[in-house]
Amino acid sequence: MNPYFSILVVCLNPGDKLKDTLESIGMQSFRNFEVILKDGGSGDGSLACAYGWKKAWEEGEGPRLRIIEKKDGGIYDAMNQAAKEAEGRYLYFLNCGDRFYGSDVLEKMQDFIESKGAEEGIFYGDIYERLTRQRVASNPRMDPFGCYRNVPCHQACFYSRRIFREHPFDTGYLVRADYEQFLWCFFVGSKKEKLTFAYQNMLVADYEGGGFSETKENRKVSAREHREITGKYMTGGQRFRFRLTLLLTLAPLRSMIAENEKTAGLYNRLKEAVYAGKGRKK
């Protein structure tokens, strides 16, 4: 029988971060999952740690760990390669340096998915961001404006495997391929049925922050890709209204507040209050 979850970890010279990530995976109380580690050619000795975990898990009661050593064209190509190998019903990407927020994350998410009838789609929660030391709430009810403004990061999302069979990450995008895929899921969806977007009020990941897409240079790339991607899936009228809304609600200022360690707490509390008004259950 195939595992319920596939936990996918991609890396290239991750150093000690790999150990922290694998340790948090091994502590999960729910055990019906596999781990796929996709390495792009590390030369820092970190894979010795991975093979050590693999041996320990095989000798004990740990999860199945498959290690794939293969060159790739970047992080999204690596994630696609890992997804192709996955046998689980739902896929979850945990980056090196990130951790599950608690030992019961998979148990809670499996219960939640089953409560929804085990539908096809994206099931997501919140993340804890170590840089600001704050909980980052996800939008509980996705709509076109939510897709324009803010979608959950992939560390908060569990994806049906079917999504990656029908629409893997578009590697033509350097930093926003996961955003493009999310919008495809929302606006186009599966060929077989409409995809579900379901939010669970729980912390999924302890997110390291400061990742690839958050460098100064890549933020410029991100803005350009955002314009291109929204142009694919949204009308000109929608984009104009959404840009005007963000301008009138001081979105650039709010982003600065959210990213500042001293003010992020207040911002996220206010955001949670807004989301609660949209039906976010406590």
pLDDT value for 281: 45
Domain ranges of the chain: 5-277
Q: What's the predicted TM-score (pTM) here?
A: 0.87
Please name the residues in contact with 241: beta carbons below 8 A apart, sequence gap of 6 or more. none
Condensed to tens digits (0 to 9), the pLDDT of residues 97-122 reads 999 999 999 999 999 999 998 789 99
Condensed to tens digits (0 to 9), the pLDDT of residues 233-262 reads 999 999 999 999 888 875 555 455 555 566
Superfamily grouping for domain 5-277: Spore Coat Polysaccharide Biosynthesis Protein SpsA; Chain A (3.90.550.10)
